[in-house]
Amino acid sequence: MWAEEIGAYNVRASACGQVGTVYAYGGALELYPELSPPWRTYFPPSNRLAATIYAGMAGVESVWAVVDGRFDAGVGAPDLTLLTSEELGEWARYTAALY
């Protein structure tokens, strides 16, 4: 984590040169067809804490939690066509509320 370094830099930097947006790892979206519901969204407490710490640093105006995962049905990626529109909507609402 680079929070202290970002905060220290921002204290020394001019307003136009500060790091105002931080992209921090949030978690992952995963699909397991054998489960009910078949999706899982992860945003671990340690990652939430990191986002909170970054947000408290001098000059930081926003923190974006980056969600890991790809969904193009390629190698190692889930195939979202296996889900119904209702399931996709439910997953999207759950993820939006979590993040």
pTM confidence score: 0.81
Of the candidates 33, 2, 31, which has an alpha carbon nearest to the alpha carbon of residue 19?
2
Mean pLDDT of 72-89: 82
Burial class (CB in 10 A: 0-12, 13-18, 19+), 27: buried
Question: Per-domain residue ranges for the chain?
Answer: 22-98
pLDDT digits (tens, 9 = 90+) for 40-52: 899 999 999 999 9
Give the C-alpha separation, 17 to 32, whole Å.
44
Band (76; pLDDT cuts 50, 70, 90): low
